Every structure is written in structure tokens, then in C-alpha cells.
Structure 1
Amino acid sequence: MDEFRFIDSIKPSYYRQSSVIKGVGDDGAVIQPNIGHELVISTDTMVDQIHFNLNNMSLEDVGYRVMVANISDLAAMGSSPLYYIVNISAPNSVTNEDLLYVYQGMNDIASQYRMDLIGGDTTSGHDLVISVTVFGNVSPKKKRLRSSAQIGDIVFTTGYLGEAGYGLSLLDSHKHDKLNYFVQRHIRPQPRVDFVRVTTNVNRICLNDVSDGISSELNEIANASNVSIEIDWDKVPIHKDMNHLEHSRLKQLALSAGEDFELVGTCSKGDWKLVRSLCEKDDIKVTEIGKVINRGEEPSVYLNEFGEKLSLDQSGYQHGNS
């Protein structure tokens, strides 16, 4: 890897954000923070054979997905994407030209939100490891924190759940090409920045992005907000073309597979009608799936199905008492 030549090849010719004073090409980036806003920072790392498989994904797809994972975190905080930094460790078998495909995939999604690449580093290593740090801004009173759920809130989710996990299984089976809808939902998901944009004037929304499955995300909300949550299985949004799957498989995908990068969250009953109306105007699917309830002895998440209440832990569902 020729690091200096590579840096020259990825250096932007211009910056989309006027707040960038100095980007790639110096010892550090220089940013002029937006007055009246707070900075949101998130980072994620993906490792070959753990988070992605180059046997069924292109290098561009890998770059795209690692960026989506980070942008989705910004959306879950209620923030607007601004900049990103990329650190890559790559084996000697990966050339500069290969890495350019990774950066192209990142730019495919970053350019949609006018995000600027402002720095990073490359080094040699045993495995291909890609780490991205993203920066966004948010108005102080519009942060969407996991800790802001309140008893009586409506619990909702955007989109359909389990699609990315199903797409991965189709990809692994080699029975469907990359143009299949569910395969695309795995390799080219779309972060819900649109939801954040249309609901910016709603005073209080609690959000978490669906990276690990709603069984995990809802438990994180319950613990952070010190509440309990109850959802109904028959309300969980599932694409009609997945209904043929065996029931336990369908539940595993919808509740625990993750990587849909949808948003799950809560808002007051009074604001729910507004949230739903705003989303309908922008053609964003949003579904009420449950409610926030008294926490009892400790924060918990429950799944109602066929008249039975199941305790839904962070790894999935199990029989339990309410």
C-alpha cells in the first residue's frame, strides 16, 4: 500500500459543508462548529469474515454498509450528518485500487447527505478492518435519547423488520442474485435520516436504531429510561413476502436478526398522531407496535402473542411472567 499516493487519490476536490475549514491533507481537520447546535459523534468498525464476507459482497457494498451503520446512529440521535473519518487496516493483498472501491461505496451514501470526508488513516494488517467515525449536529432540545421514554408512550418502528437478516440468508444460499429485494436490504440498506427530518418539530421522541434487532434495542430503551415496554407480535411490521417462513424463524428475523437500520422508539400518545401524519406525507412507513408501561421491579420488555406474555430479553424471546 502506497499510503501517500492513496491519500492524494481520496482527497476531496471540494467540501460540501461550509463549516469545514481544513479537511484531508494535514495533521488534523479543522471545523467551525455550527452556532446553536451540539455535535454528535459515533463510530463503528467492521472486520472481514465477522461483519462482512467478500465472497458475496463487493468492496463498494462493504464501504456502503459501514457508512450506513454510522449514519443510522446519527439518525437515532436526531442529528443531521455532516462529516466522516475513515481508518482502514488492510492485508498486503488489498491494493490501493481495491481500497478506492471501499471509499466509493462510502461516498455513494455519504454524498446523499452532503457529508464530507475530513480525515483518517491507513495501515497494513492481517485482516481488512474498516472503522468509520461520523459527526452530526443537532439542536440541543431535539436530541433523541434512549433515556427519554415515558410511561404511557406509544412504541413504534419505521419500515419492515427482519428484511436484512432474511436477505443475508438468501445471499448465503446463493439462490438469489444481488438484485433481489431482500438481498438489497442487506447489502444496501437506507438509514432513516428522512424520519428525523420530517419529525424535527416534535418535542420529545425516544429513538434507537435497529442494528441488533428490536429485542435488543427495546431493552436498551427500557433500561436507559427506567421503564418497561410491551409490544404485540401481531403489530410487528413484516413484509408480506416473508410470511411463508416457519413461525419461529420469522420471529427470530423480526425480533433479533438486526441490521435493518430502521428506527424504533417512543413518543407521547398526543404526538403519535402528528408523527404518523408527518410520515405519511413523506411516504415513510411507521407502525405502532406497543406501549411503555409501569416498570414493576425492574425495566423489562414483553411480547404479547396469542394471549400469552413472553419476556423479551436482548437476545430474543423466552417464556416468562409479567
Structure 2
Amino acid sequence: MRPILLQGHERSLTQIKFNKEGDLLFSCSKDHVINVWYSHNGERLGTYDGNNGTVWTVDVDTESRFMVSGAADNTLRLWAVATGKCLYTWEFPTAVKRVAFSADDKQIVCITEQRMGYQCAIRVFNINREGDGTDQSEEPAFMFNPIGSKVTVCAFTLTPNVIVTGHESGKVALFNLKSGEEILNNERAHMDVVTDLQLSADRTYFITSSKDKTARIHDIQTLMVIKTFTTETPLNSAAIAPGKPYILLGGGQDAMNVTTTSLRQGKFETRFWHKVLEEEVGRVKGHFGPINTIAVHPGGTCYASGGEDGFVRVHHFDDSYFRAKPYGDLEIED
């Protein structure tokens, strides 16, 4: 697979995201800029300027009409995807570390950091999709402070007013947005901080990655661990490949330790694991530092990885990937 190298950031990547059709790829980094690219050829379509700090997180709705971003300048911003205009800005006391749209695009959830005497907070805003999108409510529809370990990642489930969260202690939990109470948790989901959480296409299960060197697939209703993938390096991101029984893992050592090891030992490859058999099936090299974020095309035709080196690499899968028989001669019918 010859990668397309996207050079549009001056500092390390924090999150990348495909839109629902997969023709656009959004990338955000520590250089205050959000870029959008054509995924098929790597052409840069435009930038979203306006943040005054590291942009930690980005998400786009199913219509590719609105994008939302969270940054270290303590703001949550709503953007028009087509024009690059910032439609609305919410301001908070601390940085916004994670944002996500609900399945129906009507709500966004954001996590603000625990810092300077402020508690970690989860806020949910109702998005007014009428008109040009500039008329939004300043106040959150729901807000609560999760008790115990700090929340690092979150996403909406298909159950109304329920979100799934990953925490610094390694636990995953389900929260009721209206009451703010924890419905269910799995304290031992991971042994260290949960670094990424991505849902399956039908939102019935999700994958988490962690600094404890494992990635796990969980059932979204029971939070039971279904599969565990153990590597020898701390993981920063994990994604599920649609249409094939693979998951993609990315990580590497912390940035400050990178200079002391060779590339081979730094383990900066994207790892492909068999989702069912829990076996590693391949690796793709390329980054000169830890991989911070991985996203897979919704159609399963390519994937992108963003690294500490400031590059996004888009890999379109070869024919051999689609011809491969992941279960041997066994044919799986959809």
C-alpha cells in the first residue's frame, strides 16, 4: 500500500475523523488548525482557523454540514463544513478534551478537563439545525460532574440520553445524561488510562485502547469485555475496520522517550489484528513517532493514521486485502 502523505500540520496530530461518506477527512493538531482533505487523493480542501490553542478533538455530523471541535483555548466551536466559517463558540473554564455528535445529529457531548480547581465536567448541547446554524443555545441541555476518576473519552449510545465513557483509571461506564448518574460500570476494563473509544458502525459494541498496552472490544449494553488484544507498547488509538474482521491499533512510547530508542523499538507501526481470533495479522510502518490517532473509511476501503511527527498518512487498501480470506476457506455470509 503506497500511502498518501498529508502535510498540513506543523505539530503533532490529536485526532482524525472521516465523514459518513468517507470522501472527506478532518484532522486537528497542536498547531491550532483543523484541516479537511479529500480522502481519495489527499488534496487539501481547506482549513478552519480561529482556535487559539491545541485543537484536541473534532467530530462531524452525518450530513457533513456541521463540524464541532474542542480545544485548549477552553472553547467548543461549531463550524460550517462547506464554508469553514465558525458558527458558534461556547466558552468554559477549562480545556475541551473530547466532543461527539449523537446518532441523530441533534446533540453534542463534550468533556472539559479537571484543572485549576475545576472538576471534570460532561456537558450536552442541543444543536439547532434550522437556518444557518448560528442561533444556538449558550446553556447546556444537561451538565454533570462524574464522581471518581476523570473522564477521558466518550460517545453517545443508541439508547436516548445515555453515553458511554472511558476514564483515567481504566474503567468504562454508562451515564444517564439527565440525572448524571452512573448506570453501569466496568472498573477493571483497563489497568491504565483509556486513550481512545470508537463505536462499531451499528453502535452495538465499541473498542477502547489504553496505555496498559491493550485494546478491548466491549458490549455496549453490558460493558462486558468480548475480546482483548495485548501488545507490547502503550496504545493511543484503536479503530474497527468495517466489512472485514480486523481492528487497527496505533501507539508507541510517550513522545519524551522517543529519542532514546530506534524506530524499530519505538514500535510506531499501525497494527492489524484479527477481531475474532485475537491474533496480530500485519503491521504498516511509516511514522517517525508514536501514532496518536487512527480512523478507518466507513466503506472499509482505506484508513488514515495521524502521528506525533505531524503527518497524516492515508493508506488505500490493495486488492489483496479484499481478496484475503480471514477465516481460511470458510465463507462468511452477511
Q: Name the TM-score, length of structure 1 as normaliser.
A: 0.28
Higher helix share: 1
Higher strand share: 2
Q: Which has the larger radius of gyration?
A: 1
Q: Name the TM-score, length of structure 2 as normaliser.
A: 0.27
